[in-house]
Every structure is written in structure tokens, then in C-alpha cells.
A and B are shown apart, each in its own frame.
Chain A
Amino acid sequence: MNKLLSIAATAVRELLYERVFYILLAFAVVGVVFSNALGELTYADQAKLSLDFMLAGTQMSLVLFSIFVGVGLFQRELTSGSVAMILSKPLSRATFLLGKFLGQMTVQALVVVALCLLTIFMWSLGQGMSANLVWSIIQAFYLCYLESVVLAAVTYALATFSGSMTTGACALSFFFLGHYRKTFDLTLTGGSVWGIAEKLLPNLELFNVKTLATYAFLVPPVEVFWLTVYAAVCATLFLLMGIVIFRERDIPT
């Protein structure tokens, strides 16, 4: 347990030294601020649109964050060779993988909280706030976070057996497939392969409540609870898959 935390803590520190972290953070902050400015210029309905836009920006940067930080944090350590000395210590490969993941999730949670506060703050300056709206924004951010946890788990699972480009590309397509499965279903004329794939892919669209939030609609707490369980189960399954592959594979560095 101590080893897990020590790897997680080092991963957090490593992230704070990463340039990609600040680039994505800046991207998200600029997105929030700009889309707010956009909202101020327009009529009420379009203001709702701009909140939608803000949430979409946050979601996108979290997605990129999960994937690229996951590649940088976990996979780069495998390819650069620093993993050799770590794994030569009495430490299981599972601990290493989970430690890194835990570290990333911690930083990601902090980023989500910061962006959420920033959004609420910016919004209340421009448009005024109702308690309902605050809660629905918080919900939307929370669900974004759940989605990013699932995506990061997918990234880690992919990174255990493929290179950084493949991992990044596959994780991204995973994100799009997870969201637009219905659209794809139409275009691909519902072949049986797709039918199976659809059952296996987590439905990421479930986490998408951006439009609801813009109308200050609240998702019932029970549903949020089940979504949390769903995300936890998906992430656990992918992490388990990653651990099994990672334990079996050769580490050539």
C-alpha cells in the first residue's frame, strides 16, 4: 500500500513538471473564459449555447488529458527505461500500473474541481446564477470526470501492449465510438460485428449531460449513483485487463 502511494505521489509530482499538463490546462482555462465572453455578447438562448460550449471544451480537454498524460506518465516510463530500476525492487507490476493511474486520477480530479469553480465563477459574473444551475454544472463536471476515468483506464490498458501513437489513436477512437455508437450503427448498417462491439464498448454518451446542464436540469441522484458504479466497473475491467497483459509481457528496456 505504501509503495502504491509512493508511486502515485511521484506521478503527481512528475505531472506538475510536465509541459503537456500546463498546455492542456491553459487550453481548458482559455476555453472557459472565451466561451463565457461569447455568451455575454449574445441573447439568452445563445448564452445557454455558450455554457454547452464551455462544458464541451472542458470535456474535450479532459479527454485529451486522460489520454496524453496517460501515455506520458505510464508509457514513457516503460519505453525510457526508468521502469527497470523500479521493477527491480520488490514491487508487483500491478502496483506500478495502479500507482501511476491513481496519481493521474488525483491530478485530474483537482483539474476538474478548478475548472468547475472557474466556470461557475465566470458564469455568475456574466449571467447570474441559480442554485439549480450551480448544481447542474457541478453534475456535468462530475460526469465528465467519470468519463475521463474510464478513458484513462482504456489508455493504460492499451499502453501495456502498444506504442504511444497506437495507444493515443486507439484511445481517441474509443472515445468517439463510445459517444457516437448510434450514429455509427446507422452508417455501418448494423452488421453483427458492430453489434458485438457495441455491447463491449462502454456507452460514454451516458455521461453526457451537457445539454441538460445548460437548461439547469438536474439528473436524479440515483442515476448519478448508477453512473458512478458503471464508470467504476468499466475502469476496473480495463485496468484488470491492462494488469494481466502487463504482468505477462516482456519488458525489454
Chain B
Amino acid sequence: MTEIEFIGVTKEFASGLWRKKTAVNDVSFGIEAGAVVGILGANGSGKSTSIKMMLGFLKPTRGEIRIGGKGPYDFHTRKMIGYLPENPRFQKFLKAGEVLRYYGGLAEMKGAELSARIDSLLELVGLKHAQRERVAGFSKGMIQRLAIAQSLLHSPPVLIFDEPMSGLDPLGRREIRHLIQEIKKQMPVTILFSSHILSDVELLCQSVLLLKAGRLTRQCSVSELLSGEPDQYRLVAKDVGESFRKRFGEKTQQLPEPDHVAFDLTGAEELALVLAELQHSGGVVVSLTSLRRSLEDSLFLDRRSSTEKGAELL
């Protein structure tokens, strides 16, 4: 069953008196119920605009959006959706528990059911200790968690998260990732979230939507996205011998740390070769990271060209 459907959706914003700017351009896709789907795109590619149209905050200039078969303005649609905005804000004077009580009331929950739900959600997002603290004193990470808890209150079958991991430290990102996996395990939900971090999408999603300057350039599974992508690695090593340096001279890159060098390698064979050589010459591996450089280039390079185009227009 198709849970979320875009049919030829276009959104234009007025920019200046006469000119229009197309933020989302003739986008069509369908998302099956129960799927976890990522929207990937550079800054300004139209991710948030698409999401806000699903919530009915923005009206599409053309085209149609269906969620569970109904339009975004339908009351029942809103009951189906849990939403995490890009920059969640709460009224500062409320305490964490009160925020959830308030929003729960607006989502037609009450009494003991609501109280129990609030308890379990605060537990789930790790804010139990802050239940009686005012939101005004919350860090970005705590706000983000509270906003996620808020989106889950009425157990909606569709979750729409706009950059759930933005502005978080690496640990925070990992925790939110685990949280999303945990939610998926506990409830049969459809999750759609936007991101510009490839690895987040890779770890969480079955399929992706690629947006480029407002257009949907690809909808495919994550494995399809990554196939054809050459394996690229960045290896950092120290105490590398002179002979070794000579041999891989053109690939080595001196790091600020003394004796540390980095290698950008393509393919498993090259990696194996370098590792063997390194061991032989007495070098020590400091770190090894997998890169998706070409994919990220293809995703985000476009932004540079579009801003350059913008600069020319000005």
C-alpha cells in the first residue's frame, strides 16, 4: 500500500515582486507503508519545503499530495503523522513533562493513558531526569529528543522527521539513530526523514529519494545507490619508513601531527597492498575510514554550480 504519494508537486515562492523561485519542481514519488526512506539533498534542494507541504504548512503551487489516501489538510491525515521540524522550538516556560501533556491534549489524548505515554516516551528518549525542568534551559540535543518524543505521542503510523540529526554531536547523532531504529522495532511505522549525511541514510533506510535543486533525480534502494560506487578509503598511519614514502609518494599527505600521513585509496586491492607494505616497513595504522567521495560529490556538487549560477544572475 502506498502511504505517502507526491504527484507532480511543484512549489514556487515569490522572490522579489515579480520573480518566482521554484523550490520543488514537478516531484512525483510513492512510499510504501512500513518503509524507512531518506530524502537526501544539498542545502536548499527542497527537502524541508517538500516536508512542509506534507504537513499542509505550505500549499503546493501545482500537483497533489496524498498521505494514507487523503490530502494534507484533512484532519485524519494530521492524526496519522508525527512531525519533527527542522528547528524545533518550544514555549520556553513549559517543563518537559508539561510540553508533552500540552501536545498530547492537542492530539486528543488524556488522563491516565496520556500520563503513561508521557512516562514511557521520556524514558525512550532519555529525558526522564529532565521531566520537571524548563525547556528554556535545554541543550539542542535535549530539545531534539523532546521534539521526537512529541512526534510519537499519539502513536502515529507515519513519522516525518526533518533533519533529525542536525546540530548534534557524534554521540548525539548515534543515539538518535539508535532511537529511530528502536522506534521502528517497537511500532510498525513508515518513517521519512531528510538528511544531508549519506552515512545516516545508509545506516537507517531501505531506500532514498535524491533531491537536486528542487528536482527528484533518483528514487532507489540504498544498495542500488551504493553499487557502482568504488570503495574508497582514507588510511592514516604513523612512523612510516622512508622507502614506503617513496613508493607511495604521490598518494601520501602529511598531516599536522608529526610523523602522521594519510592515504586516499581506491579499491580493496590497493588497500590490501598498502596495509601489507605498511606492516612490512614497521608503520602503525592510526585509523581507517570508508569514504563515499564520488557519491557525495554527485549529490552536493550541484549546489555549488547552482549558487554560482545565482551569482551570475546577480
Contacts and interface: CB of A to CB of B under 8 A. Distances in A.
A3 B83 CA distance: 18
Contacts of A91: 78, 106
A103 to B, nearest CB: 12
Interface residues of A, number: 25
Nearest to A6: B105
B58 interface: yes
Interface in A36-86: 77, 80-82, 84-86
B106 A250 contact: no
Contact of B58 (A82, A89, A92, A250): A250
A87 B102 CA distance: 13
A2 to B, nearest CB: 7
A90 B102 contact: no
B57 A6 contact: no
Given A250-B58, A250-B59, A251-B57, A85 B79 contact: no
Interface string A163-205: 0000000000000000000000000000000000000000000
Interface string B14-53: 0000000000000000000000000000000000000010
B88 interface: yes
Given A81-B85, A84-B83, A89 B106 contact: yes
Interface stretch (A9-17, A123-131, A150-158): A9-17
B293 interface: no
The residue among A14, A90, A253 with the most chain B CB atoms within 10 A of its own CB is A90
Contacts of B81: 88
A208 to B, nearest CB: 36
B103 A90 contact: no
Contacts of B59: 250
A220 interface: no
Contact of A89 (B85, B89, B103): B103
B91 A14 contact: yes
Given A88-B83, A251-B57, A10 B78 contact: no
Interface residues of B, number: 32
Contacts of A89: 78, 103, 106-107, 154
Contacts, number: 78
Given A10-B102, A88-B55, 18 more contacts: A2-B110, A3-B105, A3-B108, A7-B106, A10-B94, A77-B91, A80-B89, A81-B85, A84-B55, A84-B57, A85-B103, A85-B150, A85-B151, A88-B85, A90-B76, A250-B57, A251-B52, A251-B58
User: Which 3 residue pairs are nearest across A and B when measured between Cβ atoms?
Assistant: A88-B83, A17-B93, A89-B106
Interface string A78-113: 001110111111111000000000000000000000
Contact of A6 (B58, B85, B106, B151): B106
A81 B78 contact: no
Nearest to B107: A89
Interface string B66-89: 000000000110110111010111
B261 to A, nearest CB: 46
B248 interface: no
A252 B13 CA distance: 10
B68 to A, nearest CB: 13
B147 interface: yes
